[in-house]
Structure formats: structure tokens, C-alpha cells
């Protein structure tokens, strides 16, 4: 007789402990006379687990004295792992090493794919509720165990009603269904080409992990005949402002109260130095080297240049996706290893703007160039609202409804386009902008004005 198992199981009422800040739910049961207890943060999860224990006992399943759970649970292998369980496991594996933005990308791709893995529609919550619960809670290692009651109900449905990962082996068409779901919007329409490419790559990475876990013999996506959509990631010339429009927009920012005056330099750094927003927001005073004022010059520097020494960036990702709980976490510059910076020249107009900014706002910051009106980090919503208001003020109604400078990031595009059209060699522009040369030319190909005419003249001269 196997003394490691028993059929003597008793399940008790869930115990509720109400602390000063949180409530904990304890599922209690006995196996072979030994008491067991497991805690949960919400009642729905506790009820689901208790129900599974009860169901196994009623079916007469053997329980392990060592674990307190049905023996069949201990025998679970990859073939029995549900899609929901696999997604949570994959997200948890990636979480520690992934940047907050990459964590979000993984969550979006796996959330979009999940409807293809529903095993039933019986009792299914509303689609938007399912997507929200999957994206914000199931695919978030930090948040999952703290889901509120109404979200926990949705997650419980997902946990109980997704197909096993092994279904890819039994159903050859499932992999294509999964890919179609991952590359579609909630309304069924195909997502943008760049999203399609990204989600396919992220989904394939996840299924590679399933192979690593021996859940699948091979990655089913790699057997599909699938042609990626043509990439459309290039700058729209209609979004690029000229110098007069840029100055008008900066003047309109200046007029926005109360935050406008301190945001002029923020946007000017994007237009005159091609900084990304996350690079500008992490600048400190010691990253800026301004030229000395000429003796007797009170108006500014007409021909003097300075330098920016960039070392870090602080992309916005939201508090729930960072380890520290702040909306932004400082990281290495994009496409650069930790500790590797880049130097960008400061043209005379930007020298003057930065000197004014430092003189006016240097005393109310902690070394950062840009803070909120009440101190602390410059809020994402603050500069987005100011930019929208400035566009409405500075542009005509037709321009406002067009793509012209629709996002602050378009100022960076305008700067890089200006450098290229001024004849600055592409390798130098790429170094200043933090791009590779091939990516630079691919993205900005349509913004290089007049290059075709120059090429034609050179060919004509060569043929004489």
C-alpha cells in the first residue's frame, strides 16, 4: 500500500482575515488528518481553488500527503498546461530582464492572441473586459496577485477556459488562428504593418519557450507559410515643420500657463538637437555645455555653439510596468550599451533658449532641467496637453487637422530632416541622432528634398 497518498480529504469554509490595509482569504482543508492552508488576495481566486480541491475529492481522486493536493496535479506535464497558465509562466520568466516598454509589448501581443485559445464561450465575459484583465493583470507579474475582485472573476474564467498548449499538436490550423488573432484589432481589422511584424515576433518567441519547456515538440508558427507585410515605418513629410512653423509653435508653447514657459526648452531640444522625449526629460544641468558669453554681449550668442552630453533616457511606461513604481525608469540610451553616451551639438538658437531656461528655472530643480510646476518629475500628460494647445494656437485649422507636428516626436523628425537637407553627411547625422545609417536613410528617405535634382546634375556632368 502506498502511504504517500490518501483518500481522506475534508474541505472547510474559507477563512477571511481583514487586516488594516488588505483582506486575505485562506482556503483550508485536511489531507489524511494533516491541515493545509493557502492564501489568496481576493475571494474569487480563493473560491476557484477551493472548488477545484472539492471537485477532486468528490471524484474520489487520490491526494498527496506531501503536497496536500490531488496526485494528478503533481503529474501535470507540459502537455496539460493551459494557454493562460503558459502565458503567466512566460511573462514571469521574461519580467526581470525586460525593460518596462518591452513588458508592455509582450503583454499586448499575448493578449491579442488569447481569443484564439478560448476553449468555450460559455459564460464568457465581455471582450473588452477580457482584454483589459489579460493585458493589465495576467500579463503583469507585479500586478497579477493584486487584482481587484471584479478582475479576479474575469481571470478565473480565463484560467478555466483556455485550451492546453498541446492543442497545437492536435489542431494544425490553430497556429494560424493564433497568428491571425495576434495581428488583429479588437474589431477584427488587421493591425498596422509594424504591429503585425512585432506581434508575430513576440508570439514566436513565446512559443520557442514552450519548446524549451518541452510543452511542444516544435514552434508551430515556424511551419506556417506567412509573408510579413511591407514595412511602412518612414517619416511622413506632411508631419515635418519648417523653421518658421517651429518658431511659431515654440512661441505658442511659451504662452501656455502655468507650465508653458518651462516647456519651451523641452520642445526646443527636440527641434534643434533631435532629442527623443525620454532623452530630453532625463537631462541634468551637467549634461549641457554652453559656450561662455562674449564680453559685453548681453543679448545671446549669434554664432556660438554648445554641446549636449547624453548618458541616459527615461522612457514613459506607466507605474504598473516598472519595478520601482514610478512612471519612468532611467535606462541606457536607445541602441547603446549601459554607460555609452552620445554627444550632440547645440546650435546658437538653442544655446540662447537653454541659457534663458537655466536662468529662470535653475533654482527650483534638483539638477534636472525639467520638473513639474509643483516640483518632481515632469508629467507626461503636462507636455502632451501643452503641445496640443500650442498646435491649436499656432497652426491654421487645416494644418491643425493634418499630420503636421501632431506629436512632439515630430520635432525630432524635423531636426533630422533639416540636418540631412543641409548636406550634413548621413554617418554624422546618424551619430548625432542615435541611429544606424541604414535605419536613418530608410526612415528619412522621403524627407531629403532636392537630392534627386543634385543626382541628375552630377550624372549629366559625368556623361559630358
Query: Of 46-60, 71-85, 233-247, which range is least confident?
Result: 71-85
**Helix (H), strand (E) at residue 410:** helix 409-421
How many C-beta atoms lie closer than 10 Å to residue 127's C-beta? 11
Q: What is the mean pLDDT of residues 416-436?
A: 89
Q: Where are the beta strands (DSSP E) in 19-62?
A: 23-31, 34-40
- The whole-number average pLDDT for the span 455-460 is 71
Instruction: Give the Cα separation of 281 and 368 in Å (integer).
Output: 8
pLDDT of residue 269: 96
Alpha carbon 246 to its chain's center = 29
Residue 76 has pLDDT above 80, yes or no: no
User: Higher pLDDT residue, 134 or 78?
Assistant: 134
Q: What is the pLDDT of residues 263-310, one digit of tens each?
A: 999 999 999 999 999 999 989 999 999 998 866 555 545 678 999 999
The mean pLDDT of 394-405, rounded to a whole number, is 92
Residue 345, all three cell numbers: 551639438
Contact criterion met (CB below 8 Å) for 426 and 441: yes
Residue found by looking up cell 554681449 in the block: 297
Residue 344: pLDDT over 50: yes
162: DSSP letter: B
116 falls in which pLDDT band (50, 70, 90)? Answer: very high
Q: Do residues 249 and 239 touch, judged by C-beta distance below 8 A?
A: no
Other beta carbons less than 10 A from residue 270's beta carbon: 22
Residue with cell 534638483: 366
* 72-110 core/surface letters (b: 16 or more CB in 10 A; e: else): eeeeeeeeebbbbbbbbbbbeebbeebebbebbbbbbbb
Between CA 407 and CA 362 the distance in angstroms is 27
Residue in 183, 174, 181, 225 with CA at minimum distance from that of residue 201: 183
More confident residue, 229 or 287: 287
Q: β-strands 288-289, 306-310: how paired?
A: antiparallel
What phi, psi does 70 have (nearest 5°)? -55, 140
Give every CB contact of residue 428 below 8 A, 6+ residues apart in sequence: none
Alpha-carbon dihedral sign for residues 56, 61, 65, 66: negative
Average pLDDT over residues 401-421: 91
Query: Domain coordinates of the chain in residue numbers?
Result: 5-75, 79-223, 237-452
pLDDT recorded at residue 171: 86
Length reported for the chain: 464
**Predicted pLDDT of residue 78:** 47
How do residues 196-210 score in pLDDT, each as one tens digit?
999 999 999 999 999
Quick one: CA dihedral 201, 202, 206, 209, positive or negative? positive
Q: Is the pLDDT of residue 451 over 60?
A: no
Backbone angles phi, psi at 60, to 5 degrees: 80, 25
Q: Average pLDDT, stretch 392-407?
A: 93
pLDDT above 50: residue 77? no
> Percent of the chain having pLDDT more than 90?
48
237-452 maps to which CATH number? 1.10.443.10
Is residue 157 very low, low, confident or very high in pLDDT (cuts 50, 70, 90)? very high
Quick: pLDDT tens for 311-330. Answer: 888 888 888 898 888 888 78
Average pLDDT, the chain: 87
Instruction: Tell me phi and psi for residue 384, to 5 degrees.
Output: -65, -45
Q: What is the pTM of this model?
A: 0.72
- Confidence band for 452, pLDDT divided at 50, 70 and 90: low
Of all residues in the chain, the percent with pLDDT exceeding 70 is 91
Beta bridge partners of 39: 26
pLDDT of residue 427: 92
C-alpha 174: how far from chain center: 27
**pLDDT of 215:** 87
Amino acid at each position: 500500500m502506498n502511504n504517500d497518498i490518501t483518500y481522506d480529504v475534508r474541505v472547510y469554509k474559507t477563512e477571511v482575515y481583514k487586516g488594516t490595509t488588505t483582506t486575505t482569504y485562506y482556503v483550508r482543508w485536511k489531507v489524511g488528518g494533516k491541515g493545509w492552508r493557502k492564501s489568496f488576495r481576493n475571494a474569487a481566486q480563493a473560491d476557484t481553488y477551493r472548488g477545484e480541491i472539492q471537485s477532486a475529492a468528490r471524484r474520489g481522486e487520490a491526494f498527496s500527503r506531501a503536497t496536500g493536493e490531488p496526485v494528478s496535479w503533481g503529474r501535470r506535464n507540459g502537455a496539460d498546461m493551459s494557454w493562460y497558465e503558459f502565458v503567466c509562466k512566460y511573462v514571469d520568466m521574461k519580467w526581470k530582464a525586460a525593460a518596462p516598454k518591452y513588458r508592455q509589448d509582450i503583454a499586448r501581443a499575448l493578449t491579442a492572441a488569447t481569443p484564439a485559445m478560448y476553449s468555450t464561450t460559455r459564460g464568457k465575459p465581455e471582450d473588452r473586459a477580457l482584454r483589459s484583465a489579460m493585458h493589465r493583470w495576467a500579463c503583469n507579474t507585479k500586478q497579477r496577485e493584486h487584482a481587484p475582485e471584479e478582475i479576479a472573476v474575469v481571470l478565473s474564467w480565463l484560467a478555466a477556459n483556455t485550451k492546453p498548449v498541446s492543442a497545437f499538436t492536435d489542431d494544425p490550423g490553430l497556429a494560424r488562428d493564433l497568428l491571425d488573432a495576434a495581428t488583429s484589432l479588437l474589431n477584427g481589422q488587421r493591425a498596422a504593418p509594424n504591429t503585425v511584424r512585432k506581434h508575430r515576433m513576440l508570439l514566436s518567441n513565446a512559443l520557442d519557450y514552450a519548446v524549451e519547456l518541452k510543452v511542444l515538440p516544435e514552434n508551430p508558427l515556424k511551419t506556417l507559410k506567412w509573408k510579413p507585410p511591407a514595412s511602412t515605418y518612414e517619416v511622413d513629410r506632411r508631419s515635418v515643420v519648417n523653421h518658421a512653423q517651429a518658431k511659431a509653435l515654440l512661441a505658442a508653447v511659451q504662452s501656455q500657463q502655468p507650465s508653458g514657459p518651462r516647456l519651451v526648452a523641452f520642445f526646443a531640444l527636440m527641434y534643434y538637437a533631435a532629442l527623443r522625449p525620454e532623452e530630453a526629460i532625463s537631462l541634468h544641468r551637467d549634461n549641457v555645455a554652453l559656450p561662455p558669453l562674449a564680453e559685453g554681449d548681453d543679448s545671446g550668442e549669434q554664432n556660438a555653439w554648445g554641446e549636449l552630453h547624453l548618458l541616459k533616457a527615461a522612457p514613459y511606461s506607466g507605474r504598473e510596468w516598472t519595478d520601482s513604481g514610478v512612471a519612468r525608469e532611467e535606462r541606457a540610451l536607445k541602441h547603446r550599451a549601459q554607460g555609452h553616451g552620445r554627444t550632440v551639438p547645440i546650435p546658437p538658437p538653442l544655446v540662447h533658449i537653454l541659457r534663458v531656461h537655466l536662468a529662470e528655472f535653475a533654482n527650483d530643480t534638483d539638477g534636472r532641467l525639467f520638473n513639474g510646476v509643483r516640483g518632481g518629475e515632469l508629467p507626461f500628460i503636462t507636455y502632451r496637453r501643452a503641445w496640443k494647445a500650442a498646435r491649436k494656437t499656432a497652426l491654421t485649422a487645416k494644418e491643425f487637422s493634418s499630420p503636421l507636428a501632431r506629436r512632439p516626436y515630430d520635432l525630432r523628425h524635423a531636426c533630422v530632416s533639416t540636418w540631412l537637407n543641409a548636406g550634413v553627411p548621413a554617418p554624422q547625422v546618424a551619430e548625432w541622432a542615435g541611429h544606424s545609417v541604414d535605419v536613418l536613410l530608410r526612415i528619412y528617405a522621403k524627407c531629403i528634398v532636392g537630392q534627386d535634382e543634385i543626382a541628375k546634375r552630377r550624372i549629366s556632368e559625368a556623361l559630358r
